[in-house]
Structure 1
Amino acid sequence: MKLGTQNNSDPAYLRMIAPLGITHICSTLPSRKLDEKWSVDSLKRLKESVEATGIQLAMVPLPLSSSVIEKAEYPSLLLGQSPAREKAVDEICQMIRNCALAGIPSVKYNMSILGVVRTAPTTGRGGAQYSTFKYSEGKQDPPSAAAPMSADLYWERITWFLDRVVPVAAEHKVKIACHPHDPGMPKGKGFKGVETVLGSVDGLKRFVSIRENPYHGLNFCQGTVTEMLEDPNREIGDVIKYFGTRKKIFNVHFRNIQGKFLDFRETFPDNGDVNFLNAIRAYRDVGYDGMLMPDHVPHIEGDTGGLMAFAFCYGYIRALMQVLEREG
């Protein structure tokens, strides 16, 4: 496994964090649309600038971000709007082809309508602010611009996308890693008129079975997956085993929570409910060899850009990796 990051691909920043043991990166988004920054030459320059710092460029994000549909780069894909969605999927496919030609082996993306849904933050260790979600406190109004979005309709839109993109990824040998919906919502109720079909383990199982292919898998956000569970510490190992043995985990957001489905808050890796040593052993046991990285961190007063919080997470993950190394 590799210690990874996704926060900033500026060489000055990478030179600052490389001494922490970080060896691989998912870059920041090259551009919100297919333009010169997505050209093969530009992607090659990105790769060269990153790797000049000693950190390997392993992944780039597609402009399918975890934002609400009203701010999405390509809203037509999930709104089912033709001919805009045909043009959008053509552009996404061209980005994947260009990544292959630039020597970039994987991309990540979202199929998000609601974005990352949270309620008011709560105070955690040492006064840090923890991102929190309580379904009972969530504001259902106004409804999403995509509402009503039933599970069946959402699956139709996702399947339409995968039918066109997975063959291109497979042909060009670029892994495409989708992030789960964050967080999962009650089946049949949803949130703001939208069913979050990638917000349950069963939904993720269905997702990876559509257009089954070695290049179609998950940006496995452990934090988001644990948010789907009633007993995260007990259940997460089996979920890692299911997707890991099927080689569907392409990247890991290694994040911890306190709480459970519909009532949780994001913590530091060492003070959540999930035993992270057991979790990293689960990845080892299924033969996972990709990146482990933090994605969200608690907010510490005075910690501009989360640099201190991220440094703590990098060090904690590196220490866990070292335990595995010494275990053989």
Structure 2
Amino acid sequence: MTPPRPKPPILFHAGHQHDHSANTLQALAAFGVKHICSGQLEAKMDAWSIDSLTRLRRHVESFGIKLDTVPLPLSSREISKAELPEILLAKDPERERAIDDICTMIRHAGAVGIPMVKYNLTFIGVVRTDRTIGRGGASRSSFDYAAAKQDPPITAAGPISEAIYWDRIEYFLKRVVPVAEEARVKIALHPQDPAMPATGWRSVHTVLGSVAGLQRFVETVPSAYHGLNFCQGSVAEMLTHPREQIDDVIRYFGQRGKIFNVHFRNIRGGYLNFQETFPDEGDMDMPRALRTYREVGYTGMIMPDHVPQIAGDPQGHKAFAFCFGYIQALLQQLHAET
């Protein structure tokens, strides 16, 4: 009788994002979370000096936690509110100066031992419609394309075709990826949230809001330092049947070494109509997804993302604590299976 094949090792771990205050880090240490992405830093270069980043890293490490990632000032804001809009608006010489600053930030992150930065390249920001009521009266972030309003109908960027969008993405990557390689810092892109129809949204064709678009993105500049901040929730929003489809998407990017970080978020619904849920109550099989990350050899953080709002928890601390407990329990079970 042939003995069963040994299961792949578990190379990932629980992680956190958004906040690196002392109170939060103390709570994370109590939860057994030993890796984080810091909160958003200012776009000013003073916040990205080697001294400032060193102080940030030492602050995090003083709680027995490792600073794995820092967000670049390229967040998910709509283009009129973006920190460095010049990069996607392609306004020179301002674009060149902004990309130079991004390159310096990446170099400084590498110099102080921060192995990854994350970022977005979005014109339309995160789009949602009215919130819906979920389990126990929790308020869920939701999107229903049929109820959404394109107001105003055109962003400050004007009409953006697929060709224009890809040209600006490629320009950015060809400048930044060689710097990331030199600094040995991974750069991880968050997908568009949510996916939109091919006809576009507010005259923007959102090329990073489909699996095919993400496939093209990771192949645009071949590099082990160029990949995805793989938001499982955002990717599920691209799919008509997330429960049946998500594992194959994880395999596609994971087998190519393009998943650098995981936002472990669940939803109900799918393409153009969904509600964000707690991780245990959505449509996706989260334990199975975690096994798929193990299967492909993923090595980074598994972190909570958006959480429903519950009464008496305006900052989401209770909701996030639930998510950390859920992730740690799944990890414990996964280790028991090996």
In the TM superposition, residue 18 of structure 1 has moved relative to its aligned partner by: 1.4
Could you say which residue in structure 1 is the equivalent of 2:8? Answer: none
Contact conserved, 1:255 with 1:296, CA < 8 A, in 2?
yes
| Aligned-pair CA distance for 1:160 | 0.4
- Aligned runs of 1:199-210 on 2, under 5 Å? 199-210=209-220
User: Aligned residue for 1:95?
Assistant: 105
Q: Cα offset for 1:56?
A: 0.6
The residue identity in structure 2 corresponding to 1:304 is P
1:62 and 2:60 are equivalent in the alignment: no
Residue 33 of structure 1 contacts residue 73 of structure 1 at CA under 8 Å; is this kept in 2? Answer: no
TM-superposed CA distance for 1:220, in Å, is 0.3
Tell me which of 105, 115, 140 is aligned to 2:115. Answer: 105
| Contact 2:115 2:184 (C-alpha < 8 Å) held by counterparts | yes
Q: Aligned ranges for residues 4-153 of structure 1 at < 5 Å?
A: 4-34=15-45, 36-142=46-152, 143-153=154-164
What residue ranges of structure 2 are gaps of 5+ in the alignment?
Answer: 1-11
For 1:42, what is the secondary structure of its paired residue? helix
How far apart, in 2, do the equivalents of 1:31 and 1:101 lie? 19
Give the letter aligned to residue 179 of structure 2. V
The alignment partner of 2:130 has SS state of: strand
Q: Deviations over 1:199-247 (max 9, x none)?
A: 0000000000011100000000000000000000000000000000000
2:39 is aligned with what amino acid?
T
Rounded to whole Å, the distance in 1 between the matches of 2:204 and 2:145 is 14
Quote the offset at 1:316 in angstroms.
0.4
Task: Give 1:233's aligned residue.
Answer: 243
Conserved 8 A contact 2:53-2:112: yes
State the SS of the aligned residue for 2:15. Answer: strand
Distance 2:156 2:41 in 1: 27
* Counterparts of 1:57 and 1:19, CA distance in 2: 17
Q: Does 1:165 pair with 2:163?
A: no
- Taking the aligned partners of 1:278 and 1:153, their CA distance within structure 2 comes to 38
Letter in 2 for 1:79: L
1:181 matched residue in structure 2: 192
Corresponding pairs, count = 326
- Percent sequence identity is 57
1:3 equivalenced with 2:35 (yes/no): no
Q: Which amino acid aligns with 1:164?
A: R
Structure 1 stretches lacking a partner, 5+ long: none
**Correspondence list, 1:153-302, <5 A:** 153-187=164-198, 189-302=199-312
1:181 and 1:13 map into 2 onto residues whose CA distance is: 28
Give yes or no for contact 2:28–2:34 (8 Å, CA) kept in 1: no
What SS does the corresponding residue of 2:99 show, helix, strand or coil?
helix
In the TM superposition, structure 1's runs of 4+ consecutive aligned residues that sit over 3 Å from their partners are: none
Mapped partners of 2:246, 2:32: distance in 1: 26
1:325 has 2:335 as partner: yes
| 1:44-68 deviations in Å (ceiling 9; x for gaps) | 1100010110111000000000000
Query: CA–CA distance in 2 between the matches of 1:323 and 1:174?
Result: 32
TM-score by length of 2: 0.95
Please give the alpha-carbon distance, in whole angstroms, between the structure 2 residues aligned to 1:259 and 1:146. 31
CA deviation after TM superposition for structure 1 residue 268, in Å = 0.3
Q: Is the 8 A contact 1:33 1:63 kept in 2?
A: no
Measure how far apart 1:104 and its partner are. 0.4
Q: Secondary structure at the match of 1:60?
A: strand
